[in-house]
Amino acid sequence: MTQNTDDWGLLLTAALGGDSRAYARFLRVVTPVLRGVVRARGAALGDAGCEDVLQEVLLALHLKRHTWQTGTPVRPWLYAITRYKVIDAFRARGRRVDVPIEDFADVLPAEPGVDPTQAGDMDKMIAMLDPRAQRLVRQVGVEGDTMAEAGAKLDMTEGAVRVALHRAFKQLADLRKRHVE
């Protein structure tokens, strides 16, 4: 009793009568057939999506097995449930199309250069420093001023700029650890 749909009816009838072995056998026999139907109708859902739909079909069969009328063909009843579950999966997905990025990784490499989000992230981290440390980091680290130039602009000695800048960079490193890593 494997692929004969008359046997499916006998198994399901026995299962509805309380025979758990018949029910388990029924599910084992129909699952590969239903998997094929789901994959044929829902190919655009991908392998994982089709397996999800198959699980939904099997759950629906379990919950709705009492709706099958004994003596009627099993295959149309199974196909109807499967068809509606595939349709439900497409409706749930909407107009979204899932394309695995792995297929295009070599074809669509990122443009070489600086990460465009890096400047915004850097500005957010610098803004967390005290105002004097912010000015020092921006002048020396971002604008490229020398220690002497930054000292002249901020009315500090070159040695004081070095110490203050060292402390500011240490604060930035600590902030990075807390907020990024």
> What pLDDT sits at residue 2?
46
What angle is formed at CA 47 by the lines to CA 42 and CA 49, rounded to 5 degrees?
60
Span 57-78, mean pLDDT? 91
Token pair 């901020």 is found at 154
Task: Decide if pLDDT at 98 tops 80.
Answer: no
> What pLDDT sits at residue 35?
94
CB 81 within 8 A of CB 65: no
Task: Decide if pLDDT at 152 tops 70.
Answer: yes
As a whole number of angstroms, the distance between CA 99 and CA 108 comes to: 13
> What pLDDT sits at residue 84?
92
Q: What is the band of 53 on the pLDDT scale with cuts at 50, 70, 90?
A: very high
- Where are the alpha helices (H) located in the chain, listed in sequence order? 5-16, 20-41, 46-64, 74-93, 118-127, 131-136, 147-154, 158-179
CB 136 within 8 A of CB 161: yes
pLDDT, one tens digit per residue, over 114-150 is 666 666 777 888 888 888 888 888 888 888 888 899 8
Gyration radius of the chain's alpha carbons: 33
> What pLDDT sits at residue 103?
65
**Residue percentage of the chain with pLDDT more than 90:** 38
> What pLDDT sits at residue 163?
92
Task: Decide if pLDDT at 83 tops 60.
Answer: yes
Task: Decide if pLDDT at 40 tops 50.
Answer: yes
